Structure 1
C-alpha cells in the first residue's frame, strides 16, 4: 500500500512519516532520493540521518527506487521532489520522458507487497517560478503528485505540523 504525504517546506512531512513507519514496523527502511549538490545540502542530509535511530535501515537511491530491496517492508521514500529532479536532469529536462519514467517506478512500487510512505512537496502553492525550467518543473511536480495520490490508499496533507487526511483507507 502507498501512503502519500505532501505539504510545504518544514510542514512536518518527514517527522510525521517516520512516526507512522515506526508504528507499523520495528525495522523500517528509509529511502533517501537526494543527490548531495553542495555543502549546505550535505548538512541537511546529515541532520535528517541524525533524526533517525538505529532501528532504521537506510538506502540512498536517486532513481529506480523499485529496484531497491524494499518489498515486504515498511518504507519511507523521501522525497518525490528530489527524485523527480534527478530524473529531470537525466532526461535533459524532457517532461514527458521524466514523467513516464517516474510513473513506471511508482507502478512497480505499487505492485509490491509492503507499505510505502512516499513524501512530496507542494511547490505549486507558492510564487510562480521565474524561469521556464522552474515553471516546467512545477508542472511536472504537480502531475507526479496527482499520480501518486491516485495510487495511494491514504493521502495526508501536512500544514504547520498537523496532518489533514485527504484520503483514508477503511
Structure 2
C-alpha cells in the first residue's frame, strides 16, 4: 500500500510549501485536489497565488465532497500522487453547506453533521487506497489556539480536531510545520 502523509500546522506555517516539496519528491503525475471556495477577494487572491506556485504539469481538481467522481477523471487515473489542500477548508465547506443554525442546533444535529463529514473523509481515503495512490493531505492544527468565543467555532474545532486525529492515525508519516520548519512527528 502506498503511503498516506499528513501535514499539519498553524496558519501560514509552511504546510502547503512542504506538501508541494514532498509531492515533487514522491510523484511524477500529481493531482492537486483544491478544497477552497473563492468566497471573497482574500480567498480569490490566495487561490491565485497557490495556482501560480504549483508546477504547471500538475492537474488540479476543485472538489471538497463527492470524491467518487474523480475516479473517472483521466488525470486521476494517470496520477501516482494525490495532494489535498486542505482538510480544514473541506470541513468548513461541509459545515457551511449544512445550513445548520449553529447557535441553536441540537447536539444530535451536530453529531449527524460530523458523521456526514466523516463519510466524505472515508470516501476520499478509500478512493486513495483502492486506487493505490500515494497521498499527501494538508490540514490546520486547530487545537493549539484560543478557545473560540462562539459555538460554531467550538464545533468546527472539535470536528476538525477529530478528523485530523483520524487521518493521522491512518497515516504512515505526519509532519508538523512551524515558521516554515518541518518536524516529523510520526
CA distance in 1, matches of 2:90, 2:117: 10
What CA distance in whole angstroms lies between the structure 1 residues aligned with 2:45 and 2:143?
Answer: 26
Deviation at 1:66, TM superposition (A): 4.5
Q: Give the length in aligned residue pairs.
A: 167
Q: State how far apart, in whole Å, the 2-side matches of 1:22 and 1:101 are.
A: 26
Deviation at 1:63, TM superposition (A): 1.4
Normalization by structure 2: what TM-score? 0.82
RMSD: 1.7
TM-score computed with the length of structure 1 as normaliser: 0.89
Moved more, 101-110 or 27-36: 101-110
Which runs of 4 or more aligned residues in structure 1 lie more than 2 Å from their structure 2 counterparts after TM superposition? Answer: 64-67, 69-72, 89-112
Q: State the alpha-carbon separation in 2 of the partners of residues 79 and 66 from structure 1.
A: 18
Matched, 1:74 2:76: no
Question: Structure 2: where are the runs of 5+ without partners?
Answer: 101-112
Counterpart in the other structure of 2:169: 150
Q: Paired residue for 2:146, among 127, 141, 144?
A: 127
Q: Does 1:24 align with 2:43?
A: no
Q: Which residue is equivalent to 1:48? A: 50
Query: 2:137 aligned with 1:118, yes or no?
Result: yes
> What secondary structure, in the 3-state scheme, does the structure 1 residue paired with 2:25 have?
helix
Q: Which has the larger radius of gyration?
A: 2
Structure 1's unaligned 5+ residue stretches are none
